[in-house]
Structures are given as C-alpha cells and as structure tokens.
Amino acid sequence: MDLVSPSAARPRTVRSFHESFYAVVRRIPRGRVATYGDVAIIAGYPRHARHVGVALRNLRENAAVPWHRVVNARGEISLRSRSDSHELQRILLEAEGVEFSLEGRIDLRRYGWRPPEYRRPTMRPPW
C-alpha cells in the first residue's frame, strides 16, 4: 500500500506527500535557494525537513524539479550518504550565479528565497 502513517494529521499517500514538497521546490527561482526546513513549512508540513531530503533523494534523474536549489539552514550543500550528487549540485548552482564562500557556504540573506505569502507581513504604522 501507498499509505503513510497518520501522525502528520492528514490522510495522504507517500506520493502526494512528496509531491507537496516538489510543488514548493518548483517555485524556487533560478539563482535562488531555499532551505529544507522552509520547504517543509511552505508545503504545510513543519518539522519535516528531513523528509524533504527523502523526497528529493527519490527523484528520478530526469524529473523537472530543481532539487539543486535546496540547501540546509546554514546555507551549505548537504552531503549524501549514497551518491555524490552534491558535487553536481554546486556546479548547477554556480552556473545559475549563486556564489559560495571559501567555506562552501551560500549567503542565505542574499540568495535565500521564500514565497511572497511566507514573508513577514510588513506592518504599516497607523500614523
């Protein structure tokens, strides 16, 4: 069966679960990045950062999902345990103009992306 434990409070399948993450990742613009944690939150599954990684790991090679635009909360490319696609990830990002520090970090304040509806509501002073 394709069912997943109900602990996440919403009836779903593994497929749709992962799809909700892919939908967010597809919205990350070229040359920008988002964190695993934020992708999880935006997808509606807070605290599921690890599972964003699982979803991306399960992507087919030709999938139309810009998986390389997802990095960890420190702005680093997370290492894989099985493959070495993290090397490709850096190449793809640099090809989009994303800069890395000498320590291999990306400045999230500069390249980090969040959807408009996620941004803090800019409160206009009432006077």
The residues in 61-120 that bind DNA, with binding defined as CB under 7 A, are 67-68, 70, 72-74, 78-82, 85-86, 89, 103
Interaction of residue 14 with DNA, rule CB under 7 A: yes
Query: Cα 119 to chain center, whole Å?
Result: 16
Give me the count of residues in the chain: 127
CB nearer to DNA: pick between 10 and 29 = 10
Give Dmax (Cα) for the chain.
58
Cβ nearer to DNA, comparing 9 with 123: 9
Nearest to 71 by CA among 24, 111, 35: 35
Q: Please pick, from the candidates 43, 52, 106, 108, the single residue that binds DNA as defined by CB under 7 A.
A: 52
